[in-house]
Chains A and B, each alone.
Chain A
């Protein structure tokens, strides 16, 4: 009710700079002042919230650096290259965790990128129109499942399955091939780096699919139609027209998924085995940066132990920040090109 009158008053004042002073004029000015004040306040409030988002990020960085100072000053750069992780003697090195993170994410990307691109190819070129939406939604539902669900499923269903089928198969076939044999050596534990990598692949697949589908769809249809007009097959259109056109966007999507894979915690923690050693075999248990933190942080006694774990967190944040920044930059480039 009040706003209606206020609105009317404002309209009056706005129209009538020259109107002679009347009894209502003072009230109008007051109302206007109040509105002007509220307006400025709201603007500053929103601006403050926007700046708060920036502060949040710097807060994360500052607090992590602060927390990792004890560990970094004790071990220096040796923290990054040392293999020992011994809470009793308080010797900590991040190398096994870094190694595990890279290996599991590498396995995940190796599988998820081709599969994701193929699904995007299917969804944009092959799939009948009525089926596109349901499949798209199903893939996005896969993206919405919380990571702990993948973890519990991986531990109880997927790992035993792999232990009984894929892992013995790999050991008996590829395990005997000279050169790469050591990659598949050792007993089939079920859990381990390969299992973690496969679960990560399932988890990042929807991200890759939905982003590549979006950039595929953004390719101007004139280009595709021209290629079809020359007699290209569907596969040739995707390979020679669509992919080159939106290469940057696809790489951006892949990097985004890589950022997820590197930082993913719960799904990996369940199935990685938490072993602080570097094994040549991808079937062996290992650990990742995030799994180490999740498993050990609440049990960490002593400042140095806690600080070493926070230093791992800082390391993870820096790595994912760089990967995600590159991803965003590339996606921005493709967005600008498409307009």
Chain B
């Protein structure tokens, strides 16, 4: 009798373990399946529109063919602006938190706030820049778009810089101090060098993050149908063009939107894979 109950309980335990295992494998396949589905759709729809014209011609008016040259160029300008503005601020702030004030109150507050900025809705950043730049200046501009993206770059760089500098062994700092190096030199010449791979990774990740960002650009850099190098005017960017073209009723525009989406995704994947291999090669050496 007792034996039967025990055996029954054992088999029911085994059954629930079996079910949970099956569900877990199913969930994993589901998760990977989405990746395959999305990438597959992108490749299928995007490649059919991919041609040399995409990189040499301007965005077309509805109903005719064209390329994505001006939004690609605009995206490059905006990304460069964002990195130029955001990286130094991020690295300096991360340096303070890891080197000067690792345990002080300011650092822990900044760490908390930075983590929140890291996942704050990007559309709110767009509204913020609209308020402080676009509205006072009276017009949309590439500068506003670049600054909006910089606001997204800063938290990523702060986080990785701090993390990477924290990993630098204290013995290096002590050695630098013992030969009489001032703190600032021991940070810039020794610690930065030791943490370089990780810090570069941070910047790459930040670029990967902003290169697909659309929401903060919608009302900062807006869009521009024409070739424009004027950063002080509305500037085309790949994500915004994808947004506009995908929601349009024109087949040519929709096909260009897919091609643009493919370009962005490939760029982002390449950036994250580079960043990842940098980190792992840094760990080995």
Contacts and interface: CB of A to CB of B under 8 A. Distances in A.
Contact of B123 (A121, A152, A157, A294): A294
Interface string B66-79: 00000000000000
A22 interface: no
Nearest to B88: A49
B64 interface: no
Interface string B102-145: 00001101101111110111111101101110000000000000
B110 A50 contact: yes
A308 to B, nearest CB: 12
Contacts of A138: 32, 35
Contact of B184 (A43, A52, A205, A239): A43
A264 B269 CA distance: 20
A38 B185 CA distance: 9
Interface of B is mostly: helix
B123 A265 contact: yes
A250 to B, nearest CB: 15
Interface string A119-153: 10111001100000001011111101111111111
A49 B100 CA distance: 12
Interface stretch (B54-62, B193-201, B256-264): B256-264
Contacts of B106: 47, 50-51
A153 B96 CA distance: 42
A294 B272 CA distance: 27
Given A49-B96, A53-B114, A59-B132, A233 B17 contact: yes
A257 B196 CA distance: 30
Given A146-B212, A234-B17, A46 B27 contact: no
A298 B123 CA distance: 13
Interface string A201-238: 01001100100000000000000000000000111101
B42 A54 contact: no
A145 B38 CA distance: 10
Nearest to B31: A119
Contacts of B8: none
B243 interface: yes
Interface residues of A, number: 96
A57 B218 contact: no
Interface residues on B, range: 35 or more
B32 A135 contact: yes
Interface string B236-262: 000100110011000000100110010
A233 B9 CA distance: 13
Contacts of B32: 135, 138-139
A48 B97 CA distance: 11
A188 interface: no
A310 B91 CA distance: 31
Contacts of A90: none
A46 B16 contact: no
Contacts of A233: 13-14, 16-17
A84 to B, nearest CB: 22
Interface string B8-52: 000001101100110111111011101101100110010000000
B131 A328 contact: no
A42 B121 contact: no
Most chain A CB neighbours (cut-off 10 Å) among B88, B97, B120, B208: B120
A251 interface: no
Contacts of A56: 117, 151, 154
A63 B134 CA distance: 12
B121 A11 contact: no
Contacts of B163: none
Contact of B218 (A118, A141, A298): A298
B173 interface: no
Contacts of A148: 212, 214, 239, 242-243, 261, 264
B121 A262 contact: yes
Given A139-B31, A148-B242, A310-B131, A46 B96 contact: yes
B158 to A, nearest CB: 6
Given A50-B97, A126-B21, 14 more contacts: A39-B182, A41-B184, A43-B184, A53-B158, A145-B212, A146-B212, A149-B38, A234-B17, A238-B20, A256-B119, A260-B119, A263-B120, A324-B119, A328-B115
20 contacts: A7-B185, A14-B180, A42-B188, A54-B109, A64-B124, A121-B20, A135-B32, A139-B32, A139-B35, A148-B242, A148-B261, A149-B212, A151-B243, A206-B31, A233-B17, A256-B119, A263-B123, A293-B123, A298-B219, A320-B124
Interface of B: 13-14, 16-17, 20-21, 23-28, 30-32, 34-35, 37-38, 41-42, 45, 88-93, 95-97, 99-101, 106-107, 109-110, 112-117, 119-125, 127-128, 130-132, 151, 154-155, 158, 179-185, 187-189, 208, 211-215, 218-219, 222, 239, 242-243, 246-247, 254, 257-258, 261, 264-265, 268-269, 272, 276
